[in-house]
Amino acid sequence: MDNLVEEVGEDYADANLHGQHWEKRSFTDCDFTEADLRELVTAGCTFTRCDFTRTDLGESKHTATAFRQCTFDRTVLTRSSFSSCSLMGSNFVDCVLRPITFTEVDFTLASFVRAPLHDLKLGGQRFRETNLSEADLRNTDLGQADLMGARLLDAKLDGADLRGAKLDANGLRQAKLAGALIDVEQAIAFAAAYGLVVG
């Protein structure tokens, strides 16, 4: 990538980086613990194995940026937005997530165990092999989402819109689908997942 600024192992803990604009920057194994990154704007950046524990990313905006195998532990992400981004393999624990906007985001292999994702618009997003165990997805739009291989054990999906979403047999058996909106094809797949024969 032209003019890529690369940083490895840098310590940004407790740093005040409020309102900065970063473009085409690469961060690997960097520590952003408790840093002030409110209103940060990134474009075409890459964060690999970075630590955002207790970081404030409120009202930040990210476009075509990748957060790979990053740690988000008690991170504040309210009113932030991610567009055409990758969060592949990143782990979210006890984060403040809502309200938040995701558009064309890849969540493959990410973990959102017990995450509050209710009432969000997540339709069309890629959740392949994402851990959504016990996540609160009530009234969430998951239409056309790719949930193949996703772990949905005890995920709450009351009122969620799953029409057109891709779900495998394990996902259909693990999730609590009572009250979720599904299409006819999914209903047949659900029956098949439980060994029923639809005549």
Predicted confidence at residue 176, as pLDDT, reads 80
97-106 pLDDT, tens per residue? Answer: 999 999 999 9
177-195 pLDDT, tens per residue? Answer: 889 998 888 888 877 877 7
41-53 pLDDT, tens per residue? Answer: 999 999 999 999 9
- CA separation, residue 151 to residues 15, 28, 122, 134 (Å): 36, 28, 16, 9
Predicted confidence at residue 3, as pLDDT, reads 66
Residue 166 · residue 186 · CB < 8 Å? no
Predicted confidence at residue 1, as pLDDT, reads 44
Low-confidence ranges of the chain (pLDDT < 70): 1-3, 196-199
Residue 192: its H or E element = helix 184-193
Report the chain's C-alpha Rg in angstroms. 18
- CA separation, residue 158 to residues 102, 109, 149 (Å): 21, 24, 21
What domains lie within the chain, and their CATH numbers?
1-106 (2.160.20.80), 132-192 (no CATH)
Predicted confidence at residue 2, as pLDDT, reads 56
Predicted confidence at residue 115, as pLDDT, reads 97
pTM equals 0.90
